[in-house]
Structure 1
Amino acid sequence: RRPDLGRQLNEPSIDLLQSAGIARNQDVAIILADGLSATAINNHAIPFLKLLIPSLSDSGISLAPITLVEHGRVAIGDEIGELWKAKLSVILIGERPGLSSPDSMGVYFTYRPTVGLTDDSRNCVSNIRPAGLPYQAAAEKLFYLIKESLRLKLSGVNLKDSASLPGEQVTTA
């Protein structure tokens, strides 16, 4: 009923994250939020993360503890990423259910997450589900984008995706 509340942490949650005796300054903070479809997170987050996390770890990208948010919206990733002092926040969120995709999961990421950023600061990989963008293809795409974002120190409209999706034919003129 109050979408704005899903974009910000309440005081007890802020206190909990600030008092956690966990190292800050990791490369990536991963956040799971049920958003508009808890079904999407329940069905797809674990299989997707089982593919993504080993790639991140194997490449030397450090991870903050995974943070779970009930009724969260995309912008909550900025506040959590800022509290963890992460270089990049990655939020897995249930997307708005459609008639043909009631369980679609999206992943949004932001370089240097800070409260108050706007959507043009974020990138998105959407429709992650077996009947949409398969887990493996989505994990590969996100891994590539995370590496590029960390290398170039940017995200959002300034980060161009020059990689093709698996199965796409690349033609040159």
Structure 2
Amino acid sequence: MNHSAHEPAAQDFWTELRATTQARIGLGRAGDALPTRRVLEFRSAHAAARDAVHQPLDAAALADQVETVGLGRPVVVASQASDRGEYLRRPDLGRSPADLSSIPRGTAEVGFVLADGLSPRALADHGVPLLSALVAQLGDTYSLAPPVIATQARVALGDHIAEAMGVQTLVLLIGERPGLSVADSAGVYLTHLPRPGRTDADRNCVSNIHPPGGLGYEVAARVVASLVGGARKLGRSGVDLKDTSRADALAAPSEILEL
């Protein structure tokens, strides 16, 4: 039976669906294996994900860019992980600070930490514009502390930093674990009344921030602003706190969210 007549139609079917997702679908076949082009695409994506994990963060260059946001010159701190290899082998060291004595203590309501996480590339690509969008959403309502940049950092390191800053609510921007579809996705973790010992159940996360393919900066900032407001009313963040930003938008038809 000749299948050649069906191949263009099948290809057109998958081409249309492929435009709606970053997942690998409809890859085709070459005998019992994948076509060479698809194998090379997979290897390229795998290499990009590995590179994103191991790429060192240029903290000095990032600090220069963060300073332009207008919150002051950021302090740079590190976790107890001495290098990238130890950071990957010992997640516990990435959750504990090496030295926080350089962080000035203040009375601001909201503090920002920019952490390299598992994708320093994501923080380098999205950290500053995402921080700018967050400041635009929160700056008129709350007092904001000078930001802190954290290297070799896991999410829980932010609790130690926030306690040193003296802030009531922590907004932590971090590079998310790279995948085979996206190597530079950023996330935001919100913790109200942060302190060492907080768990993931005490936090809220807004993830998949990497325009144009993922969540945009302004949309992510609106969600975070809604969560900050909700946390301060509720007195806590985490599993009991829900995002109401989309419900608020539905109540105002003139606002269009670009999801």
TM category (shorter chain) comes to 0.7 to 0.9
Structure-1 residue corresponding to 2:70: none
Per-residue displacement from partner, 1:115-138 (whole Å, max 9, x unpaired)?
A: 011110000000001111111111
Percent of residue pairs identical: 45
Matched, 1:134 2:222: no
Q: Confirm whether residue 151 of structure 1 aligns to residue 233 of structure 2.
A: yes
The match for 2:176 among 72, 86, 95 is 95
Q: Tell me which residue corresponds to 2:125.
A: 43
Where does residue 62 of structure 1 map in the other structure? Answer: 143
Q: State how far apart, in whole Å, the 2-side matches of 1:80 and 1:15 are.
A: 10
Gapped regions of structure 2 (runs ≥ 5): 1-88, 250-256
* Cα deviation digits, residues 78-115 of structure 1 (max 9, x gap): 11111111111111000000000100000001010010
Instruction: Return the alpha-carbon distance in structure 1 between the equivalents of residues 118 and 210 of structure 2.
Output: 15
Name the structure 2 match of 1:26. Answer: 108
Q: Distance in 2 between matches of 1:75 and 1:148?
A: 21
Taking structure 1 as the reference length, what is the TM-score of the superposition? 0.87
- Give 4+ residue runs of structure 1 displaced > 3 Å after superposition: none
Deviation for aligned residue 1:167 = 5.6
AA aligned to 2:166 is K
Residue in 2 aligned with 1:15?
101
CA distance in 1, matches of 2:116, 2:147: 14
The aligned residue for residue 194 of structure 2 is 113
Q: Which amino acid aligns with 2:100?
A: I
Higher RCO (CA-CA < 8 Å; seq separation 6+): 1
